[in-house]
């Protein structure tokens, strides 16, 4: 299918999905060259994160969220906190997931133009505080995103 892509933008999109707690965050942060993702045990990624990397010609690295369009983040610890806060805003402090994505753009001379999609890790059983349908919910979410980038 044909798509129009502005100069400097990427048509390449990679969906990151594997088992929970298998190191997805470390791989994504290695690609970006910054620590910016929430960490913890169990299910930490509870909403899709659509991460658009934009190569710049120098200057300071910064991040912007679609839900906070006029706010630039140059402190990547603040990016981590914003992802966690925005996740909790939609899902509460529970272990539930949401299909509503968080859109984050990172501008840096150290990245290539690329879109990465971080999804909740696959699991085999629901744990306390999760709906019984979480296994199927995550699988459905993964299929939806994989089908979009085919």
pLDDT tens-digit readout, 80-93: 999 999 999 998 88
- pLDDT class for 11, splitting at 50, 70, 90? low
- pLDDT tens, 132-148? 888 899 999 999 988 88
CB 111 within 8 A of CB 54: yes
Give pLDDT, residue 53.
Answer: 95
Inform me whether the pLDDT recorded for 9 exceeds 80.
no
55, 58, 60, 65 alpha-carbon torsion, rounded to 10°: -20
CA nearest to 117, candidates 143, 82, 91: 143
Sorted by sequence, the CB contacts under 8 Å of residue 27 that are 6+ apart come out as 16
Residue 41 vs residue 109, higher pLDDT: 109
Residues paired with 117 in a beta bridge: 15, 50
| pTM (2 d.p.) | 0.85
CATH label, 13-57+81-149, candidates 3.30.310.10, 3.40.190.10, 3.40.50.300, 1.10.10.350: 3.40.50.300
- 3-state DSSP assignment of residue 106: strand
Inform me whether the pLDDT recorded for 8 exceeds 60.
no
Domain ranges of the chain: 13-57+81-149
């Amino acid at each position: 299918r044909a798509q129009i892509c502005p100069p400097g933008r990427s048509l390449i999109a990679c969906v990151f999905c594997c088992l929970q707690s298998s190191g997805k965050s470390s791989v994504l942060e290695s690609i970006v060259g910054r620590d910016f993702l929430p960490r913890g045990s169990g299910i930490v990624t509870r909403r899709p994160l659509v991460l658009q990397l934009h190569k710049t010609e120098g200057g300071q690295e910064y991040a912007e969220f679609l839900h906070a369009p006029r706010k630039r983040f140059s402190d990547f610890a603040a990016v981590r906190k914003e992802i966690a806060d925005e996740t909790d805003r939609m899902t509460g402090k529970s272990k539930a997931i949401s299909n509503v994505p968080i859109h984050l753009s990172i501008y840096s001379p150290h990245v290539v133009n690329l879109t990465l999609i971080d999804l909740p890790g696959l699991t085999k059983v629901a744990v306390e505080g999760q709906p019984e349908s979480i296994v199927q919910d995550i699988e459905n979410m993964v299929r939806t995103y994989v089908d979009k980038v085919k």
